[in-house]
Amino acid sequence: MQSRCGRSLLSLTCLLLTGVLWPMSASAQSAPGTELPATDTRAVVPPRTLNTHRTFPQFRTLEEWQARRAFIRQHMLVSLGLYPLPPRTPLRARIFGRVERDGYTIEKVYFQTHPGFYLAGNLYRPRPGSRFRPGNGPYPGVLVAHGHWGNGRMANQPEGSIAARAITFARQGYVAFTYDMVGYNDTRQFPEHRAIFNTLRDWAWGVSLMGLQTWNSMRALDFLASLPDVDRTRLAITGESGGGTQTMILGALDDRLAAVAPCVMVSHTMQGGCLCENAPGLRVDFSNVEIAAAAAPRYQILVGATGDWTATTNTMEGPSIASIYRLFGRPENLQYVLFDYGHNINQTSREAVYAFFGRKLLGLMGEESLREPPYQMEPVEKLRVFPDGAPLPASAVTQEQLRTYLIDLARKDLERHRPRDRRSLERFQQRYRPMWQHTLNVEIPQRGDLIAQAAPSVQEREVLRVTRLRIGRRGRGDSLPAVLFLPNGGPTYPAVVLTDPKGKSAFLTPDNRPGEFAQAFLRRGHAVLVLDLFLTGELADPAAEQARKRPFGEFFSTYNRTNLQERVQDLITASAYLRSRGDIRSVALVGTDAAGLWALLAAPAADIIAADCARMDLSTDEPFLSEDLFAPGIRRMGDFQTVAFLTAPRPLLLHNTGDRFLPEEPLAGLYARLKLSDRFRFANAQLSTEAIAEWVARQAPGAGL
């Protein structure tokens, strides 16, 4: 006598062949008040820009904030191309040209932040025994980062003076280092500032001007901390405008800093108007206010101005960051002030920083001793490290040579950590899974964040339930049209998510019956989910698609997910939805045509992967510059090689690879050494529907029982 399951599958096959389908069940209905938008709104709402209004999230506990802070820091490092950190190669610093002035000395400095890339600046030190600050050190060390003044660190005008700060700090008893933005003053190894590392290819490899500038700040702090007369427990940084961006970024990333003072930059609106402040991928989910808060509970002063985007420092940004300092129980470590000026770092603003640093780093309470006395800036030609016409050191590299070096670092790191056994696989996954998550800007939704809305319920039948629904996440704007085919005969099923660039219609007949691909899995007892991903199928929107084809405009990918990132997230969301059901025991992602590549990138969220690799040529960067495959840092992450290793040792089928996709041996060898060769299949040719369905069915939990 046939089992109930056997009768169901036999009847299901007949049903599919005759084209009879029964409408959906109500099993996926969402709770009241959790409805999804009627359509996916992600491509409909205007893209976020550097001027979009942001709000600061509420954090109820210190643990909640610390988890968020860890996420922010890791995401910053990945977006800046600094995860994992590059090697701290020898600085080979040269300090020369000392001059002595009343209470301080000035020296010229240059050193290599990467081999052959030179950062230059001026070092200001106290003169022991002077009338300003007697004593022999060690002294606190402070980095002075400049903004987008036309003359860089040489700016000296009523609205702002870099020399005034450095001289005053030195007289007060600090060692101060003023250093260039990339492309300014003596750090002109490359062309004009805004033209450095400004291509999609650079960004695909995680190479950006902001990443280089942040690394320069880290190495500048290395240099400062290496000086024998500097107290490493009292390191600080301050900067205005674009230098304020450098200040808040370094404050968030480098725990060696005891104090930070970002001036006229921390804002819930304008986030920075230069490429050096807008690394691709950086601010998709958070703003400068959260970045500045990541310095807590260390000493911090925010300086705002009524005449620029920091006008709400006392009512919005300051109180928001103060809420984090209160979670640490250290509200006294934060100060925020607002002055009635335009965008500036004038004497009033500078003296607010002197007073705060003086109290916290020097232990001085007398405001008068912390004011700025008259000063005289040296002639520019006396401060220049490489005056006009002076050659750079012979080892100086070109922009292309530095690009090649940074790309080679990523490649070598991947090769060095390529897994060869179970232990090295675990280490690889621990190292690269965060890189995957942040590069693709994805999340694994929790059950409480998922919403699945079904259409009105109609009678169920014995052999097949068909559920038409929309799937999304709370508050994200996604609303994915989907159809779930569920054979009766459970109680649980292996499930498969089918995806194609054309959307769910690729797996349905014109009258909405399961097509050949869906039937192949249904006949084998699988639940089948077909859906439209971002801007595919029902969600296709040519006007919205065209509007998103401006990756450089308003630093689009700094604030918005790319098409690829949205689609990979949709596959992860669909997988999470199936897992949230009580009747699904495993989830397979099966992608056809180019969607096989999207499915492969979503592999860490599934149990089984079968990906059509579309004969992609991985010997060139060109495919990753297209709308369908661009994500900042995807090449640096290791693209499909990395996600394949993140998938192991789960079942993985790669077919239609052609001759220039991933090499077979590293993956096949790993699965063989794990004694799991039956879980891996690699095929240059495109496999048939039946071959794919049969392989997936054999891998599903309980297969053959």
Question: What was the pLDDT predicted at 462?
Answer: 55
Instruction: Name the domain boundary from 358, 392, 409.
Output: 409
Q: Is residue 51 domain-resident?
A: no
Whether residues 161 and 240 fall in one domain? yes
CATH assignment at residue 607:
3.40.50.1820
Report the distance separating Cα 592 and Cα 187, nearest Å: 49
pLDDT of residue 23 exceeding 80, the answer is no
Q: Residue 10: which pLDDT band, with cuts at 50, 70 and 90? A: very low
Whether residues 484 and 584 fall in one domain? yes
pLDDT of residue 4 exceeding 60, the answer is no
Whether residues 375 and 448 fall in one domain? no
Q: Residue 122: which pLDDT band, with cuts at 50, 70 and 90? A: very high
pLDDT of residue 694 exceeding 70, the answer is yes
Report the distance separating Cα 621 and Cα 646, nearest Å: 22
Q: Is residue 53 domain-resident?
A: no
CB 264 within 8 A of CB 241: yes
Domain count, the chain: 2
Question: What was the pLDDT predicted at 558?
Answer: 97
Q: What is the dihedral of CA 474, 475, 479, 482, to 10 degrees?
A: -10
Tokens in use for 426?
């675990």
Report the distance separating Cα 337 and Cα 310, nearest Å: 10
pLDDT of residue 165 exceeding 60, the answer is yes
pLDDT of residue 18 exceeding 50, the answer is no
pLDDT of residue 373 exceeding 80, the answer is yes
Averaged pLDDT for residues 46-52: 93
Question: What was the pLDDT predicted at 703?
Answer: 57
Q: Using a pLDDT cut of 70, give the percent of the chain over it.
A: 92
Report the distance separating Cα 218 and Cα 87, nearest Å: 12
Residues 6+ positions from 473 with CB-CB distance below 8 Å: 445, 449, 450, 451, 573
pLDDT, tens digit, for every residue of 57-76? 999 999 999 999 999 999 99
Q: Is residue 508 domain-resident?
A: yes
pLDDT of residue 295 exceeding 80, the answer is yes
Range of the structural domain that residue 273 is part of: 94-409
Whether residues 400 and 454 fall in one domain? no
Q: Is residue 77 domain-resident?
A: no
Whether residues 16 and 126 fall in one domain? no
**35-39, 108-112, 226-230, 695-699: the lowest-pLDDT one:** 35-39
Whether residues 600 and 686 fall in one domain? yes
Q: Is residue 258 domain-resident?
A: yes
Report the distance separating Cα 9 and Cα 646, nearest Å: 34
pLDDT of residue 6 exceeding 50, the answer is no
Question: What was the pLDDT predicted at 77?
Answer: 98
Pairing of strands 652-655, 117-126: unpaired
Report the distance separating Cα 130 and Cα 128, nearest Å: 6
Give me the residue label for tokens 């950086």. Answer: 282
- DSSP assignment string, 166-207: HHHHHHHT-EEEEEPPTTSTT--SSS-GGGTT-SHHHHHTT-
460 or 644: which leads in pLDDT: 644
Instruction: Name the domain boundary from 389, 409, 429.
Output: 409
Whether residues 458 and 383 fall in one domain? no
pLDDT, tens digit, for every residue of 421-456? 999 999 999 999 999 999 999 999 998 999 999 876
pLDDT of residue 704 exceeding 60, the answer is no
Whether residues 638 and 694 fall in one domain? yes
Averaged pLDDT for residues 1-13: 37
Instruction: Name the domain boundary from 392, 409, 426.
Output: 409
Q: Residue 28: which pLDDT band, with cuts at 50, 70 and 90? A: very low
Q: Is residue 156 domain-resident?
A: yes
Whether residues 233 and 294 fall in one domain? yes
Q: Is residue 54 domain-resident?
A: no
| Angle, vertex CA 209, rays to CA 205 and CA 214, nearest 5 | 100
Whether residues 462 and 392 fall in one domain? no
- List C-alpha distances in Å: 385 to 119, 245, 501: 10, 25, 55
Q: Residue 555: which pLDDT band, with cuts at 50, 70 and 90? A: very high
Q: Is residue 502 domain-resident?
A: yes
Whether residues 385 and 459 fall in one domain? no
CB 43 within 8 A of CB 535: yes
In degrees and rounded to multiples of 5, residue 184 shows phi and psi of -115, 150
- DSSP assignment string, 267-319: -SS---SSGGG--TTTTSS--HHHHHHTTTTSEEEEEEETTSTTTTIIIIIHH
Q: What is the pTM of this model?
A: 0.94
Q: How far is CA 702 from the centre of its chain?
A: 38
Whether residues 374 and 229 fall in one domain? yes
Q: Residue 553: which pLDDT band, with cuts at 50, 70 and 90? A: low
CB 296 within 8 A of CB 255: no
Report the distance separating Cα 302 and Cα 323, nearest Å: 14
Tokens in use for 585?
């025991």
Averaged pLDDT for residues 207-232: 98
